[in-house]
Amino acid sequence: MAKIALITGATSGIGAACADTFAAQGYDLILIARRENLLDSQAQQLIGNYGVKIKKLIADVRDKENINYVLETLPAAWKNVNVLVNNAGLSQGLDPIDKGDTEDWDRMIDTNVKGLLYVTRAVAPWMVERKQGHIINIGSIAGKEVYPNGNVYCASKHAVDALSKGMRIDLLPHGIKVTEINPGMVETEFSIVRFKGDENRAKKVYDGLEPLIAQDIADAIWYVVSRPAHVNINDMLIMPTAQATGTIVKRD
């Protein structure tokens, strides 16, 4: 029987690259995201390329009741999740704390922190029951450092950092691995979302440097997941060669 990976935020960027990587390794997939058309075409492609089974869950990780419902009503065989990739997340805006939009703050905290918690709360008990599983939380360099105007996004990723440590402690007795993957700049839809569709502003983030691509992160996640049973990688910080810290970059 194939192993199962559940990936949130699977329609774009890091989540989409993870879906492809896990499918290529023969995993069946539970994919969560809000954009149904993207999820449909992606699932078709993965089934065509790799012959895997896919369960599409069109859901918003912020919607606690619905997330609970769609996960709890999965057929029993789909609850044998081996790997959970808590990837869905976003940044909104880049403003000083006295000028930030509180709607942006809610969206980041609700998605990056509460959404991750809701999905984990539904899936972790299945892993506990089977005494096996691996939870991968996508943190960020923004969860290790704070940069100007990053305030609430950085706070949300610092929360992911703390939660990853807490989960590792709480799930230790059950033999469940918890890994935090912390990327620096990865060129995905991330900056377009941060700047609310302003593609020119988003492009400038990567001007004159070579950022990471989503597949770099998916490759690292696959490395982590494919270690022997007695090895856990707690934490990985993965930066473009051209980025030393959250703010210090080398542009040509």
Residues lying near ligand NDP in the complex (CB under 6 A): 8-15, 32-35, 38, 60-62, 87-90, 111, 115, 138, 140, 183, 185-186, 188-190, 193, 214
Question: Within 13 Å of residue 85, how many CA atoms lie on the same side as its CB?
Answer: 31
Whether 142 contacts 190, CB under 8 Å: no
84 or 142: CB nearest ligand 8X3: 142
What phi and psi, each to the nearest 5 degrees, are found at residue 134? Answer: -140, 120
Residue 240 contacts ligand 8X3 per CB under 6 A: no
13 or 133: CB nearest ligand NDP: 13
132 or 235: CB nearest ligand NDP: 235
Least distance from C-beta 184 to ligand NDP, angstroms?
A: 6
Among ligand NDP, ligand 8X3, none, what binds residue 189 when CB lies within 5 to 8 Å by partner kind? Answer: ligand NDP
Whether 122 contacts 133, CB under 8 Å: no
Dihedral over alpha carbons 184, 186, 188, 193 (to 10 degrees)? 30
Whether 148 contacts 93, CB under 8 Å: no
Least distance from C-beta 32 to ligand NDP, angstroms?
A: 6
- Per-residue binder mask for ligand 8X3 (CB under 6 A), 205-234, x = binder: ------------------------------
Dihedral over alpha carbons 45, 66, 77, 129 (to 10 degrees)? 130
Select the span of 1-9, 102-110, 135-143, 195-203 touching ligand 8X3 (CB under 6 A): 135-143
Rounded to an integer, what distance in angstroms lies between the CA atom of residue 64 and that of residue 59? 10
147 counts as catalytic: no
Rounded to an integer, what distance in angstroms lies between the CA atom of residue 59 and that of residue 164? 23
For the annotated catalytic residues, the residue numbers are 153
Binding site for ligand 8X3 (CB under 6 A): 140-142, 150, 185, 246
